[in-house]
Structure 1
Amino acid sequence: MGETILITGGAGFIGSHMVDRLVNEGFKVRVIDNLSSGRLENLKHLGTSIEAMIGDLKKPEDALKAVDGVDAVFHFAANPEVRVSTTNPETHFNENVVATFNLLEAMRRRGVKELVFASSSSVYGEPSEIPVGEDAPIRPVSVYGASKAACENLIHAYTRLYGIRAVVLRYANVVGPRLRHGVVWDFMNKLRTNPRELEVLGNGTQVRSYIYIDDAVEATILAWRKASDAFNVFNVASEDWITVDEVAKIVIETMGLKDVKIIHKPVAHGVGWLGDVKKIALKIERLKALGFKPKLNSAQAVKETVLGMM
């Protein structure tokens, strides 16, 4: 095949699974990761079949070195913790917006013309109705969501000005092996510490869509291969949604626990923290038009994740 692909954040959760898929398909893969949330052990099974670079996209020279000689970039480097943006908004500005700008500039200077970007359903904020389609208003309520929206707009400008073709993927909650953040990971850690009690941030009625990592990777590859416009946006999710209390029940049952006391800890309007949203679920008709169909629904994705992390 001969093509070389750069995966930023390739030692992270979604990024490392993208590395696996692209290596298996015969691509040459280069990874750059600053290891702020990624872990080299996610890549160790690949040995010398990939080029791993410890570097930081917040440094323009690292971004230039990373894109040198590559044919396409899968940009998954970001700080994934939405809650961080409440207490330390500068983190998401630097790790998401500055890093993305430096990457785009490096691509422009080195003539790299293909970009796949990991965005987030958080760009929609608190929609009035669910599920939301890709044409819904962008009204983020967290700095994390705002940073992803800013990145999308930067990317759009670069597609218009410099001939880059971009595929933007607005992921719902992606779960599966190697997960190190989010509600499933959080619940499992709490229950390992105290199997008799589980604290749930929010009132438990918050609604989310969960997609298993294998489905998310398949959707990403499909969108990359089949999207034809200069700037393409796709929601990536399962076709249903469940509440946080339902997630808690699945985690408890799958871990084989009984008589667990659930304690809700809501802040304003029942959410778990400032910047959290009450309900978010995504329409995936655009992806389905390309031939995508998720193999697991939200509940199955959560259960499979717990089984794989036990």
Structure 2
Amino acid sequence: MHLEDCRLLVTGGAGLVGSELTHQLVEHNDVVVVDDLSNGVHESVPETAEFVQGDLSKRETLEHVVTEDLDAVFHCAAADKYVNSDDPRAQFDANVGMTQSLLARMDEVDVDKIAFTSSSTVYGEAPRPTPEDYAPLEPISTYGAAKLAEESILSVYAHSHGFTVWNFRFANVVGPRFGAGVIPDFVEKLDENPEVLTILGNGRQAKSYMHVEECVEAIRYVLERASESSGPMHTYNLGTETTTSVDRIADIVSEEMVLDPHYEYTGGDRGWTGDIPKMRLSIEKLGALGWKPSLSSDDSVRRVAKALVNIRL
């Protein structure tokens, strides 16, 4: 798909990935952003994009933003994995119901191209590096289960409704914005108490951290080069070839803040119920298309930590 002179819809376009995607698309395309701002920041949306504040679970919102003149939809909207964690049914219903409603509306107006931001959490605790064809998929969190259910619905529309779907399974995507996630959490904790940093789990959890700019560059690269003739459902892992431990993130944040705190641990091999302690995705399929990240996992973490520290000064 050639991403120029298109009319594109970005759901969740005020969020971390959605806003960066909008910034990269808006220069050569007409971009509409829809976001209910429950987990996004309006100021993150470029002024040259059309912004609609709305709830995609509402019929009137869908009818307003999903129109027959769209060339494609980038579906980034989600009830975040850190939101409503004490109410898993609500989180599952919100994500899966929203995606089903979006696809049904697209089908009504003959818009048949969609890129979906999925997650490494669909794999569960899988061998590393995890390839796209790993099976069985056994998520251990509500968020992962919801993402897998959404992928299944997308597969139905791809194979039975003539859609072309680009399905992206993300590693941990990080960017220069305060919000949920280990890097801003550590910055905020050290602001409150520069001498002691409480770390969830044992600090040895290690995952792949990918900078949001490179994540979006990879999405665009795949859409422009993955042949639609190879089938209706294109699934790609997006991540880095290296991982970073939670202890190392704490070290990097402390270094950027010029602090030397004592680390305290809550204990156990994971930060919370449903957390996957070790994660690294295979990106061989992405590499076969000709794209690799320029930043390592540590580089991505440091770049974000430096940005967040500068923002607070």
Aligned residue for 2:43?
A: 41
Q: What pairs with 1:66-215 in structure 2 (closer than 5 Å)?
A: 66-68=65-67, 69-80=69-80, 82-84=81-83, 86-127=85-126, 129-137=127-135, 138-215=137-214
Describe the superposition over 1:106-147 as per-residue Cα deviations: whole angstroms up to 9, x where unpaired.
Answer: 1100100110000000111111x2110111121100000000
How far apart in 2 are the matches of 1:103 and 1:179?
28
Q: How far 1:179 moved relative to its partner?
A: 4.7
| Structure 1: tracts of 5 or more residues without a match | none
Quick check: 2:32–2:52 contact (8 Å CA) kept in 1?
Answer: yes
Of the candidates 7, 11, 14, which is equivalent to residue 10 of structure 2? 7
Write the distance in 1 (CA, Å) between the matches of 2:62 and 2:225. Answer: 27
Percentage of identical aligned residues: 39
Matched to 2:70, the amino acid is V
Instruction: Please state whether the residue corresponding to 1:70 is helix, strand or coil.
Output: coil
Are 1:21 and 2:24 an aligned pair? yes
Amino acid at match of 1:77: A
Give, in angstroms, the shift of residue 308 of structure 1.
1.0
Unaligned runs of 5+ in 2: none
Matches within 5 A, 1:46-57: 46-47=46-47, 49-57=48-56
For residue 288 of structure 1, give the secondary structure of its aligned residue in structure 2: helix
Q: CA offsets per residue over residues 241-268 of structure 1, 9 Å max, x none? A: 121111111111111112x11111134x
Counterpart secondary structure, 1:87: coil
Residues 84, 91 of structure 1: 8 Å contact kept: no
Letter of the 1:72 counterpart: A
Worse-superposed segment, 170-179 or 142-151: 170-179
Does structure 1 residue 255 correspond to structure 2 residue 257?
A: yes
- Is structure 2 residue 299 aligned with structure 1 residue 295? no
What's the offset of the Cα at 1:85? 5.5
Contact 1:86 1:274 (C-alpha < 8 Å) held by counterparts:
no
- Partners in 2 of 1:64 and 1:271 — Cα distance? 42
Assess if the C-alpha contact under 8 Å between 2:8 and 2:72 holds in 1. Answer: yes
The question of whether the paired residues in 1 share the 8 Å contact of 2:85 and 2:91 is answered with no
Runs of 4+ that moved beyond 4 A? none
2:258 alignment partner, SS class: coil
Q: State the alpha-carbon separation in 2 of the partners of residues 233 and 163 from structure 1.
A: 17
Matched residue SS, 1:135: coil
With normalisation by structure 2, the TM-score equals 0.93
Distance 1:121 1:85, change over 3 A: farther
Aligned pairs, number: 301
Distance 2:295 2:90 in 1: 33
Q: State the AA in 2 paired with 1:14.
A: V
